[in-house]
Structure 1
């Protein structure tokens, strides 16, 4: 079952950012968003995206994928090459083709540098608004209240139209670029076209009834007509999704549905009469959420028998035992998952964590190596540093334990705690060593500001 992390990001744009498709993080940045980590889902997304990124001239290793725990259909890019995809998008689209159509569109924003240029454009479009605001306030102060309010309203309307026009221009550009990347990758753009056609009908609804994707990706008739012409001209337009990709997609959907929804909803979606692989998977997660772990394992058993080389089934089997208090029993399943997917950092982390939880000394060094491997493959997971600190502590390597703890706190944005542990790490580590230098860097970066 996915791991949820809380992440808060400072808003990069505050002026009219909500209607810019490539900056919808403006709303999410101002508040906290829930980031879901799930190895199986992330692998599927990256498998879809890598050919598209390469077709766009982007280095796949430079692009980060973030799963947002949100039931609404939406996706966006932010901070350069960071792709954010709502779980609701994954669970509600009908085909893999639709999902990689959205990925191609968002890649158009990334490759086109729309986020960086959007900030400059917003600044330019803000100037007339600020000028009208100053003029309007001046008129109100001078006693011409009605005239002043009219100036303010007019300035706001002009700014809003300018932003909407700019947004539609960038959306159309991302469509065309996305269609090009799909063709270069020998993929059909039919899914992107089908999905956008569905959303077009929502534009007549009030904004409160629209999916966030529609509000942040305004779809005009002209834009859709241009996309249709471009997509249908591709020689790969009629290329269907493979049975294997459809199966993988529906398995991920079932897993996410089982995790996100109340178990009663999952059991209604996947009744006992449904003996498909997807239904077994969704019910296994739902039973686990209820604490009915024997029933969860019973649902998982036929899947493992049918797909014994699927590491994510073994990962879930281990998780059901681990979170059900059967720590020792979880280790063989996690080991099997790791054997099948040795480069999956979240599986390495899960096996290392389970080993440490047994308190068996003979597991500690193996756990340490697994956690190092996990961090080498995914340095952005703070929880891996937390477990690494435990492993170093068990081995009485206190300096390294302090450094790992500092890295954990830095990862979750707790600067004061990161500074304190980094200071202690420097006192315990060999001066000038790479570890000591890392602790010094953390200390400097997180030093408390003086009043």
Structure 2
């Protein structure tokens, strides 16, 4: 689900809808297995030809209605939800991501002279940390880090030169062609917003402030791509279907009231019903949403995301025991999705059944095998241990949570406390010691470790 940094379907925090967020809070970073999978399916072939490992590139989904996309240090490619909603075809989104891949492959986020002169390189490191904390499921902590770094302001300051933009255009077009895709979407997307060129900079979309646009650039791109062999390649019906579902899902979570008008109840298509079900859930009509989901499940009984959504609604409206079955089904259908396992683990650890809580702990640990830097999973694990009175493991899991968030002082404090709960030289004692040593220890911390032979 979409989660503004919580887990599963769409998580915004443990008990907050994934894509749900107040407009007053401004942009949020979102997690959603289905959307992340769709975006990776679209852009992974481009990463491959760009000689970037798709598993190492993080796609960050920013909950913001404006158009923007960006590339940052640490192989992060960001995309505003507004960019997806304003695109007319999957190929337009792919074109934008191919352009940003050009920046990544060219090292522009690191080499930018403007960034260096503005002293933004250190800020970007902090910004990246905040992005990571939020993208991994810790919205509040991530927001604090980002607030300290002027994160979204920094994105606005990352203005690429026209030369870098031209290189990213050329690289992106080359990647698309090498991957057997059309680059037409990049031109059609730019062409729709050609008028941005004449607007005062303060009135432009963020993307066109940081990525200078000009009619000459658009026409030069058009002339180049129209001569390429794969120019006429069209989006597949499957890609179009997933694109429509992605847009409907984003609309349902971020624009629920508008979605109930935009997606007519006379429209029987799956995307329209999906958007409406999510919108009903967001507008506090869970029973109406669940009724629609049940009908859709009769048509798509093997859709893990419908079970995920059903489980999320039940959990968030206090029907925790009922949430277990659909969440189990979502994991059964998609066992490699860490966010779905975290959802199930959260539900099981909230049940008044010690055996199920133990199973929930196992699910969270299994999710951490594939996302060991997921702060939300560590937080839920700490709560589960505390619920069962295992203070040592609760302290250690909390230390892990803060460590992956980059809150080293907090991480060190909890690791020191955890260390006191375990036998000396046990695996958990050693892990707590490692966290202390890696969390900028004070001289007193080091002396304390030396006294018992840890250093």
Task: Report the TM-score, using the length of structure 2 for normalisation.
Answer: 0.80
Q: State which structure, 1 or 2, has the greater radius of gyration over its C-alpha atoms.
A: 1
Q: 2:298 aligns with which of 283, 301, 305?
A: 305
Task: Confirm or deny: 8 A CA contact 1:80 1:110 kept in the other structure.
Answer: no
Task: Confirm or deny: 8 A CA contact 1:186 1:236 kept in the other structure.
Answer: yes
**1:361 and 1:274, CA in 2 relative to 1: closer, same or farther beyond 3 A?**
same
CA shift at 1:220, angstroms? 2.2
5+ unaligned residues in a row in structure 1: which ranges?
A: 7-30, 127-162
My pick for the range that moved more, 424-433 or 117-126, is 117-126
Task: Confirm or deny: 8 A CA contact 2:65 2:81 kept in the other structure.
Answer: yes
CA shift at 1:120, angstroms? 7.9
What is aligned with 1:2?
Answer: 2
Number of aligned positions between the proteins: 390
3-state SS of 1:429 partner: coil
5+ unaligned residues in a row in structure 2: which ranges?
A: 7-24, 121-156, 444-455
Task: Confirm or deny: 8 A CA contact 1:364 1:394 kept in the other structure.
Answer: no
What is aligned with 2:56?
Answer: 62
CA shift at 1:233, angstroms? 2.5
Q: 2:319 aligns with which of 316, 326, 331?
A: 326
Task: Confirm or deny: 8 A CA contact 2:375 2:401 kept in the other structure.
Answer: yes
CA shift at 1:434, angstroms? 4.5
TM alignment of 1:37-436, pairs within 5 A: 37-119=31-113, 122-123=116-117, 167-261=161-255, 263-394=256-387, 396-436=389-429
**1:34 and 1:380, CA in 2 relative to 1: closer, same or farther beyond 3 A?**
farther
Does the alignment pair 1:441 with 2:434? yes
Higher relative contact order (CA 8 A, sep 6+): 2
Task: Confirm or deny: 8 A CA contact 2:411 2:436 kept in the other structure.
Answer: yes
Task: Confirm or deny: 8 A CA contact 1:80 1:115 kept in the other structure.
Answer: no
**1:165 and 1:361, CA in 2 relative to 1: closer, same or farther beyond 3 A?**
closer
Render the CA deviation track for 1:171-199: whole Å, top value 9, x for unaligned.
11001101111111111111111101122
CA shift at 1:448, angstroms? 7.1
Task: Confirm or deny: 8 A CA contact 1:90 1:99 kept in the other structure.
Answer: yes
Question: Which whole-Å CA distance do the structure 2 matches of 1:356 and 1:164 have between them?
Answer: 43
Question: Which whole-Å CA distance do the structure 2 matches of 1:399 and 1:190 have between them?
Answer: 57
CA shift at 1:94, angstroms? 1.1
Question: Which whole-Å CA distance do the structure 2 matches of 1:125 and 1:320 have between them?
Answer: 45
3-state SS of 2:175 partner: helix
Task: Confirm or deny: 8 A CA contact 2:26 2:64 kept in the other structure.
Answer: no
Render the CA deviation track for 1:68-98: whole Å, top value 9, x for unaligned.
1111111101123011111111222111111
Cα RMSD, aligned residues only: 2.6
**1:347 and 1:121, CA in 2 relative to 1: closer, same or farther beyond 3 A?**
closer
Task: Confirm or deny: 8 A CA contact 1:346 1:374 kept in the other structure.
Answer: yes
Question: Which whole-Å CA distance do the structure 1 matches of 2:62 and 2:229 have between them?
Answer: 34
Task: Confirm or deny: 8 A CA contact 2:351 2:357 kept in the other structure.
Answer: no
Task: Confirm or deny: 8 A CA contact 1:176 1:230 kept in the other structure.
Answer: no
